[in-house]
Amino acid sequence: MDQIKWNINFPFVLFSFCVTVLVCVAVAWSYHYFRIDQWKQRVHRQEIARMLLQNGWYESEAVQSQDSFFKDLPGGSKSKEKITYFPKVYYTLDNGIIRINVRITMGKYQDQLLHLEKKLETGLFCELIVKELKESYVEYELLYDTIGSRISIEEMEISNGCLKLMDNVYWEYDTLPHMLIAGATGGGKTYFLLCIIWMLLHTNAVLTILDPKNADLADLETVLPDVHHRKEEMISCIEHFCDEMLERNEAMKRMPGYKTGENYAYLGLEPHFLVFDEYVAFMNLLGNKASMPVMEKLNQIAMLGRQSGYFIILACQRPDAKYLQDGMRDQFNFRVALGRMSELGYSMMFGEQDKDFFFKRTKGRGYVDAGNGVISEFYTPLVPKGYDFLREIGKLQRQRVGQHKERIEE
Ligand SMILES: Nc1ncnc2c1ncn2[C@@H]1O[C@H](COP(=O)(O)OP(=O)(O)OP(=O)(O)O)[C@@H](O)[C@H]1O
């Protein structure tokens, strides 16, 4: 009898086995993913239809239906409801963004269809990011699975006057300048400020940091040059920042290449940021009389800083109308409220809003108005455990100093 010889190539078998397993996993994952996605879309469509039906936002008429067989019997002719008008609503879910276009007519339900944001947010468990009125329809853009759009500190990006803070949230400081941050103790305000400082140091930005409580931000004085916590120093820093801005406004007009409407970046100048933590506490410390000139300077920077590239990042535990007077708050285009806040706190940050605010225990979570008047849920960039801001910021600063020296030597 012939002996069958098995000539097994073990590495080849192992390789084929691994490839098969990988292919199976990929197929199962994509099947699962698309099924879940399709299921989500079906549920959303059903919810929207239910909203229109249960609110009675359609028109109908009663029609008599004749049962051909039993029309002579009592009950043979029945009355049925025939829908004569149903609102046109188009829904898409793409990349975590839900777009809902609602056709607007001048009919009976025009008002209701123009204000669906609250119902959509709570009904579909998502956050409105844009609402735009277009010709004959209104478009609601909602973020589905907001926490899924949270990025880590390493995923932050900065370029062309635009700082990425979440997958769909950017601070476009060149066009929508000045940031206001409010957050109760432990809400994640300091971590957020440190993330922004760290990211700004990747550019040619010049930073001035003020921390009247001599707390976490003041610790940066060991690695950064312009960090202050003493009252007098802080006041003179604000004055100096404002004067520099006014001087640059003048100087820019005399620069070759100056063009009306263009900003500092067009002329190759660097942006300046005044990072001011515990603003309200500082103003309270100064008292009514001494706080007025400081507020005037800040107001001036907030009003005139955009073109010359002088920006303020103002943080406080609770926004106080007393220190954000005369429309000063409205000059802060990007506003973030972190952690637990009172209804009054939210209305001071965002103005009177028809929105329900919820508190969740997640650190660095809150609400944002990125400058478009729409308030949505917000998560600050995630910082890994054990991350050493002081070391990382110090490293960046040393690199910047090194690059500066090289440039001078050239
Ligand atoms: N983005 C984040 N990523 C990871 N952890 C965070 C983040 N934000 C906050 N935390 C956690 O929450 C804690 C409190 O945050 P943080 O110090 O920023 O709060 P705060 O609002 O500045 O409070 P306080 O005003 O008392 O300083 C941090 O020590 C950190 O453990």
Percent of the chain residues topping a pLDDT of 90:
59
Cα 93 to middle of ligand 1, angstroms: 33
List the one residue out of 188, 155, 226, 167 whose CA is nearest residue 397. 226
Cα 102 to middle of ligand 1, angstroms: 41
**Ligand 1 binding pocket includes 351 (Cβ within 6 Å):** no
- Give residue 1's pLDDT: 46
d(CA 333, CA 274): 15
Pair 382, 152: CB distance under 8 Å: yes
Q: What is the pLDDT of residues 357-391, one digit of tens each?
A: 888 888 999 999 999 888 989 999 999 999 999 99
By most ligand atoms within 8 Å of CB, the mutation choice from 156, 185, 190 for ligand 1 is: 190
- Give residue 275's pLDDT: 98
**Ligand 1 binding pocket includes 366 (Cβ within 6 Å):** no
**Ligand 1 binding pocket includes 212 (Cβ within 6 Å):** no
* Out of 228-237, 285-294, 345-354, 382-391, least confident range: 345-354
How many CA atoms within 13 Å lie on the side-chain side of 81? 8
pTM equals 0.79
Q: What is the pLDDT of residues 61-79, one digit of tens each?
A: 988 866 556 566 666 667 7
List the one residue out of 352, 321, 328, 357 whose CA is nearest residue 341. 357
**Ligand 1 binding pocket includes 190 (Cβ within 6 Å):** yes
Domains of the chain: 80-144 (3.30.70), 153-409 (3.40.50.300)
Cα 66 to middle of ligand 1, angstroms: 70
**Ligand 1 binding pocket includes 130 (Cβ within 6 Å):** no
Position in ligand 1 atom list of the atom nearest CA 193? 18
ipTM confidence score: 0.97
Cα 186 to middle of ligand 1, angstroms: 5
- Closest residue by CA, ligand 1 atom 4: 383
- Place 91 in a pLDDT band, splitting at 50, 70 and 90: very high
